[in-house]
Structure 1
Amino acid sequence: MERGSSKHGPRLDDEMESEVSGLVQGPGAAGSRVNESRQPEPAGEDQPEPKTAPAGALRSGNPQGMSSDDVEARSRLGRFITMTALPGDRETLVANARDNEAPADLVAELERLPTGTRYQTVSEIWAALGHRNETTRW
């Protein structure tokens, strides 16, 4: 004997199961309620399938005079130096970086800065550490 629900008949059980199958199995399941206009359109016959990330460098439009690695490294430095530390000297910047839990290699870089110099921006700090900033176009 087949055991069924005591509240519904088999027809209603099947209907209710098909209503929630899209929620249980995801958008690719048959009978899902995903709006067709929200589904990505497939690539054309002569077009390659889209990929999540393009090959090569993920950043385009780097400033003139800087590579994408330079931009990322300067950005990393800027994440650990808050605006309250600027303008600031070496001691202020090192203390601020430590307060913001900067990695040890970044704190060591800041400790290489010369004493007695006040820095106004992260770009000035970056240049004082011996790195290149973008070149201006005239």
Structure 2
Amino acid sequence: MERGNSKHGAVLDEQMAQEVRGIFRGPAGSRADESHTPEPAGEDQPQVTVAPNGDFGRGIPNGVGSAQGEAFSRFGSFLGRTAFPGDRSALDASARAMNAPDEVLRRIAALPGDRTFENAAEAWRASEGGTA
């Protein structure tokens, strides 16, 4: 018996069909499953936030989309997660491993050598006062 497709076997054809099945058929029912909705924090628990300091950087002069916000984003993108918490030498090693540009390396060199930084925002504020 001749099959119409001679490139794949039956098992591979079924796997490929499974991969695209979701594109052609939506989920059964258009409502989200209620059990996947996170519950709010309890009365005795702190509110959960994605911005630890309560500041997303939006709506302030040097926030997201501003020149300083873009410079901070560029600075943070060359610091690996494994560099934190770390001191100036750890941040410098991480930035050099990620081929950071000179402006980022200059900011890191301006950091105090005796301080440990918990995240990129702390390092940014400590480097030249957080100014571009």
Q: When the two structures are superposed, what TM-score results if normalisation uses the length of structure 2?
A: 0.50
1:62 to 44, 48, 58: 58
Q: Which residue of 2 aligns with 1:84?
A: 82
CA contact under 8 A between 1:62 and 1:71: conserved in structure 2?
Answer: no
| Larger Rg, first or second structure (1 or 2) | 1
Deviations 1:92-122 (A, max 9, x none): 0001000000012211210111111000111
1:126 to 105, 124, 127: 124
Alpha-carbon distance in 1 for matches of 2:94, 2:130: 21
Q: When the two structures are superposed, what TM-score results if normalisation uses the length of structure 1?
A: 0.48
- 4+ aligned runs moved over 4 Å, structure 1: none
Q: Which runs of 5+ in 1 are unaligned?
A: 1-60, 133-138
Alpha-carbon distance in 2 for matches of 1:66, 1:108: 20
Shift of 1:85: 0.2
CA contact under 8 A between 1:86 and 1:119: conserved in structure 2?
Answer: yes
Alpha-carbon distance in 2 for matches of 1:131, 1:111: 13
After superposition, residues 1-138 of structure 1 pair within 5 angstroms as 62-67=58-63, 68-129=66-127, 130-131=129-130
Shift of 1:89: 0.1
Backbone CA RMSD of aligned residues:
1.7
The residue matched to 1:88 in structure 2 has which SS?
A: coil
